[in-house]
Amino acid sequence: MLPLNARNLASLPPDLPVPSYDRGALRTGIVHFGVGGFHRAHEAMYLDRLMSAGAALDWAICGVGVMPFDERMRDALVAQDGLYTLVVKAPDGTLEPRVIGSIKEYLYAPDDPEAVIEKMAAEDVRIVSLTVTEGGYNFNAVTGEFDAEDAGVQHDLRPGAVPRTTFGLITEALARRRERGLAPFTIMSCDNIQGNGHAARRSFVAFATLRDPELGAYVGEHVAFPNSMVDRITPVTTDDDREEVRKRFGVDDAWPVVCEPFTQWALEDAFPLGRPPFEDAGVQVVPDVEPYELMKLRLLNASHQALCYFGYLAGYRLVHDVAQDPLFARFLLAYMDREATPTLAPVPGIDLDEYKHQLIDRFSNAQVKDTVARLCAESSDRIPKWLLPVIRHNLQTGGEILRSAAVVASWARYAEGVDEQGHPIEVVDRLRDVLVPIARRQYEEPLAFIANREVFGDLIDNERFVSAYRSMLSSLHTKGARATLEDLDSAP
């Protein structure tokens, strides 16, 4: 069994494609924060595709980890010279593997913050990209304000502090470039947030202003923050995935990535220092990302939320099992048709009816083995960004809200931490210690969960929403998840 590294590339089996380009000739042009499965199935894959065509050889990636859990990625990628196996799994069981070579180096910031800062301050680096999750932008979900009281932020704002946060590291690199007369790099968010470029701008300008108002003004005026919409279902890598790579391809890869065949990236063209020719790799480079991102957030991402809590409560643990259940598929399609689609403007080049049915097919891909628990995690970051805007739009326009209210109620029921069989649920959420005790009070106080204004804002004040939510929560408590969906299925 060959370990995956640069030395062994030429010895790997012929049915496992490897980089055809000279990785020794690559130059780092992008620093990426948050190297997880999605980044490696998406941005890094697109760059590898370009490099395989002889392009973008000066746009290699330097990955950066900031969080304690990033140590494992450091250990895997450093030992493997940045290489990893990407396995695309089609619904019919066909596997399309490839060793990706676009990550040239990896730095773990706590090991050497100075090395990370100087890497970004180097003239060759023209883009700093981010997949730091919805919560990584450090703003309140309801007010949109930057949380200046965050402990990491407070540390990085102290005079002379060695930066620990993504904000501190990137802002220090921008300050050094400014002092050295170098133009600032572009900050490119690849996270699932509506207006992710705008969100990144708000957060980084806020942090820089707290550090130095003049620096904040400079970041706001001179740093580009393009918006983007990204899409590819990429489940968490399991030991079974590692073993499959060993058996099928004869390579020992500490952290391969598996994903679905579908991939999409709509990207705003705002790169003052240039960019790779992404459009040659299949990226939609567009003047306005908003129609694409709203489509994805309100159809795909919100549908994941519609699927996961009901599915978990009903006993499902794998996403494809939920999506293949006709009752759940009809519920998802009804949510998309009757509540989400009316909030969307036309999307250039996209047939929305085809897109919605394609989503059901993608969710049903049994080869991907995405877990319901993964979709249930970090709900307090996801629901306010993906589903609540649909509810608010329909409340304002008189549109339907019953199915959206049902999704919120299913989250509230899930957050009680016990499923319908009495088994404990591991609730994974940054607000777990707040939400679980509230959820457990809702048998006596049915509105306790949505009374949390930090998450739901003023929805508790809207009688139409409260009535729909109360009805759905009561049904979940008295009838259960499946019977609640059956009632919705027969609703006019």
Return the pLDDT at 144: 74
Please tell me if the domain spanning 2-286 has the same topology as the one spanning 290-489: no
Quote the tokens at residue 370.
């995405």
Q: Quick one: average pLDDT of 202-211? A: 97
CB-count burial class (<10 Å; 0-12, 13-18, 19+) for 123:
exposed
Q: Quick one: average pLDDT of 440-464? A: 96
CA angle (150 as vertex; 148, 156 as ends), nearest 5: 80
Other Cβ atoms closer than 10 A to 369: 17
Q: Quick one: average pLDDT of 260-285? A: 97
How far is C-alpha 392 from the chain's CA centre? 23
Q: Quickly state the pLDDT bin for 208 (edges 50, 70, 90).
A: very high
Return the pLDDT at 486: 98
Q: How far, in Å, CA of 92 to CA of 115, rounded? A: 45
Mind listing the pLDDT tens digit for each residue in 349-395? Answer: 899 999 999 999 999 999 999 999 999 999 999 999 999 999 999 99
- C-beta of residue 142 within 8 angstroms of C-beta of residue 453: yes
Using CA atoms, how far residue 329 sits from 306, 325, 347, in Å, is: 10, 6, 23
* Beta strands at 264-268 and 284-286: parallel, antiparallel or unpaired: parallel
Report the share of the chain in percent with pLDDT over 90: 96
Global pTM reads 0.89
Whether pLDDT at 491 is above 90? no
Q: Quick one: average pLDDT of 9-20? A: 95
Return the pLDDT at 142: 66
Q: Quick one: average pLDDT of 260-280? A: 98
Q: Quickly state the pLDDT bin for 143 (edges 50, 70, 90).
A: confident
Q: What residues contact residue 46 under an 8 Å CB cut-off, 6+ apart?
A: 265, 278, 281, 282, 283
Mind listing the pLDDT tens digit for each residue in 296-346? Answer: 999 999 999 999 999 999 999 999 999 999 999 999 999 999 999 999 999
Nearest-Å Rg of the Cα atoms of the chain is 23
Q: Quickly state the pLDDT bin for 141 (edges 50, 70, 90).
A: low
**With respect to CATH, is domain 290-489 assigned 1.10.1040.10?**
yes
Whether pLDDT at 140 is above 80? no
Mean pLDDT of the chain: 96
Give the CATH number of domain 2-286.
3.40.50.720
How is the chain split into domains, by residue range? 2-286, 290-489
- C-beta of residue 264 within 8 angstroms of C-beta of residue 230: yes
Segment holding 129, helix H or strand E: strand 127-130
DSSP letters spanning 301-369: IHHHHHHHHHHHHTT--BHHHHHTSHHHHHHHHHHIIIIIGGG----TT--HHHHHHHHHHHHT-TTT-
Q: Quick one: average pLDDT of 76-103? A: 97
Phi, psi (rounded to 5 degrees) for 247: -70, -45
Q: Return the half-sphere exposure (C-beta side, CA atoms, 13 A cut-off) of residue 283.
A: 28
Mind listing the pLDDT tens digit for each residue in 372-385? Answer: 999 999 999 999 99
DSSP letters spanning 163-210: P-SHHHHHHHHHHHHHHTTPPPPEEEE-SSSTTHHHHHHHHHHHHHHH
Quote the tokens at residue 291.
């129609």
Q: Quick one: average pLDDT of 211-232? A: 97
Q: How far, in Å, CA of 84 to CA of 4, rounded? A: 7
- C-beta of residue 168 within 8 angstroms of C-beta of residue 161: yes
What 3-state DSSP class applies to 384? helix
Q: How far, in Å, CA of 188 to CA of 224, rounded? A: 8
